[in-house]
Structure formats: C-alpha cells, structure tokens
Structure 1
Amino acid sequence: MPTNMTEIRDFVMRERELALSEREWKFRLRGYGYDIRNTDEGTVVTSLIGGREICTLGAAA
C-alpha cells in the first residue's frame, strides 16, 4: 500500500490507466480506501476514513 503523497498519486493515476471509465476508477479506488473529489483547487485524492485530503492530481487527472 502506498505510504507517501508521491506513491499515492502514482498509484491513483496507474489505477486510472487500468479503468475503463471515471466511474470504474472511483469504484476501484474506494476499494483501497481512497476517493476522488473535484474542488476549486483541482482534483483531490481523499481518504474515505476521516475524509481528509491527501494530495492533488493536477491536470493529469
């Protein structure tokens, strides 16, 4: 399981490449305890436990 922001970002984007749709991507990430939210600052990876923001994905998402 990824432990720092760079590893989490890489993991999330790798899962995006494997998913056929944004819906599937989000579903896959929920299985690992992550969620994707669109905010004014951009796309953000959050933790399902506690809902805290972990990192932003930038334009790549």
Structure 2
Amino acid sequence: MEQKKLYRSKKNRMICGVCGGIGEYFNIDATLIRLALVLLACTGSGILAYFVAAVIIPDNPEE
C-alpha cells in the first residue's frame, strides 16, 4: 500500500493551497479547514502556522 503524502493543492487554492492540500489529505472539505484556520488566526498563531506550512509543504507534482 502506498503511503499518502501531504502536498499543497494547485486546484483547490485560495492563497498558497495549504488548506486545500490538508483537506485533500484528510478527505474533508477544505472550507472546514479554512474556517478552523480563521479561528486560529484570531489568536495570532494561526497566521504564523499557515505561512510556515506554506514554506514547508511542497506543491503537488501530479497536478
């Protein structure tokens, strides 16, 4: 069985594709991930976490 890998989405992106990629990885709607990120952004750490993830998570090479 092939292991799933986390990639930033090229199809389902708003800014960098992080939420779309996480949604594809966990097979849930990316809108729910975006809403959770907005709640985290209110604390200040969500914005930093998003941009760190955008740097660390690679683009999907298959799209």
Q: Which has the higher contact order (CA 8 A, sep 6+)?
A: 2
Report the structure, 1 or 2, having the larger strand content.
1
Is the radius of gyration larger for structure 1 or structure 2? 2
Report the structure, 1 or 2, having the larger helix content.
2
TM-score by length of 2: 0.33
